[in-house]
Chain A
Amino acid sequence: MPLDAMSDESDEALLMQYAAGDQGAARALTLRLTPRIYAHACRMLGVAAEAEDVTQEALLRLWRIAPDWRRGEAQITTWLYRVVANLCTDRLRRARGVALDAVPEPEDETASALERLQQQDRTVALQAALNRLPDRQRQAVILRHIEGLANPEIAEIMEISTEAVESLTARGKWALSADLSDRREELGYQND
């Protein structure tokens, strides 16, 4: 549920209003899209400062394209995910090996201190393993299993077939399992 004052308007309708000069639409779109895009960029890059830059750049591109946006051609979020993926891929290729645990994780208020430490370890371990995946596998796993998007939407974002999405997510999960298998006990998982 979008937390903006124009929550009954679609993203596209708001973009049209923005292009026509409505400042309220700019505010509503910023509030609605930024958290989602930032979270995705964090998962893709694992570095908060980089994720901020990518989010700002992706939305800047949206603002610029607003007057030329072709109504009904694509969903705005789909278009944004695509832009974020391209920007992240460029950055990852330029700067391999940056600190993998640099994204500050939101704390779970209900967990004990020990549980919180364990959750932090698990989150960092998964993020590090995600960062070691090939770019396309990482993107597919994040979109499917963390963002919770459906395969057809992921297929549209990645411009591949749904079968290819299934293949990428399956291989990605298998690679994560293999990568993290040595750390099972360290991360608090018991062998069955």
Chain B
Amino acid sequence: MTENHSKDKMVEDLLDLVQRKVPAPPGDLMERILSDAMNVQAGFSQVPDRSERPGILNDLFRVLGGWPAVAGLATATVAGVWLGVFPPGFLSDATGVYLGQDDATFMIDTAAGSGFDLGEEAL
């Protein structure tokens, strides 16, 4: 019992001794830490530039896959418009069929009296 007590007292004494001896940080450590703080803080000022962009467009941009995907989409769109305005020769018939030009050529009025002639009489 006495031995345990004296052991505890020794440990208490040693802990107390160490508690009083606080190791001080070296000066260059403080300088390095402050330098880190300034470097990290300098990066904060660039954050608002990014947040100024519209949120929905920003989200859409990200969802589409960023610059590579958006560049591909833009190229495909321009190519589509170009083909629409200046179609190559082999595409012209197909375009006509698709747009219904041939149907219009052969359209006949199958219900006399209730079609175009009725409209003309009314005039």
- Where the two chains meet, the residues of A that have a C-beta atom closer than 8 Å to any C-beta of B are 18-19, 21, 23, 26-27, 29-31, 34-35, 38-39, 42-43, 48, 51-52, 55-56, 59-60, 63-64, 66-67, 103-106, 108, 119, 122-123, 125-127, 141, 145-146, 148, 173, 176-178, 180-181, 184, 187, 189, 191-192
Q: Is the CB of B41 within 8 A of A192?
A: no
Q: Is the CB of B7 within 8 A of A181?
A: yes
6 CB contacts below 8 A, A to B, read A29-B37, A34-B33, A48-B23, A103-B23, A106-B22, A123-B14
User: Which residues on B sit within 8 Å (CB–CB) of A122?
Assistant: 14, 17
User: Which residues on B sit within 8 Å (CB–CB) of A105?
Assistant: 21, 23
Residue tally, chain B, CB below 8 Å to A: 34
Q: Is the CB of A26 within 8 A of B34?
A: yes
Q: Is the CB of A191 within 8 A of B36?
A: no
- Among A35, A56, A127, A177, the most chain B Cβ lie within 10 Å of the Cβ of A177
Given A56-B36, A122-B14, A177-B10, A21 contacting B19 (CB threshold 8 A): no
Given A23-B41, A34-B30, A180-B10, A52 contacting B18 (CB threshold 8 A): no
Q: Which of B100-115 contact A (CB under 8 A)?
A: none
Q: Which of B1-44 contact A (CB under 8 A)?
A: 2-8, 10-11, 13-15, 17-19, 21-26, 29-30, 32-34, 36-38, 40-41, 44
- Where the two chains meet, the residues of B that have a C-beta atom closer than 8 Å to any C-beta of A are 2-8, 10-11, 13-15, 17-19, 21-26, 29-30, 32-34, 36-38, 40-41, 44-45, 47
Distance (Å) between the CB of B72 and the closest chain A CB? 34
User: Which residues on B sit within 8 Å (CB–CB) of A145?
Assistant: 15, 19
Select from chain A the residue with minimum beta-carbon distance to B22. Answer: A39
Q: Is the CB of A148 within 8 A of B23?
A: no
User: Which residues on B sit within 8 Å (CB–CB) of A187?
Assistant: 10, 14
A55–B45 Cα gap in the complex (Å)? 25
Q: Is the CB of A191 within 8 A of B3?
A: yes
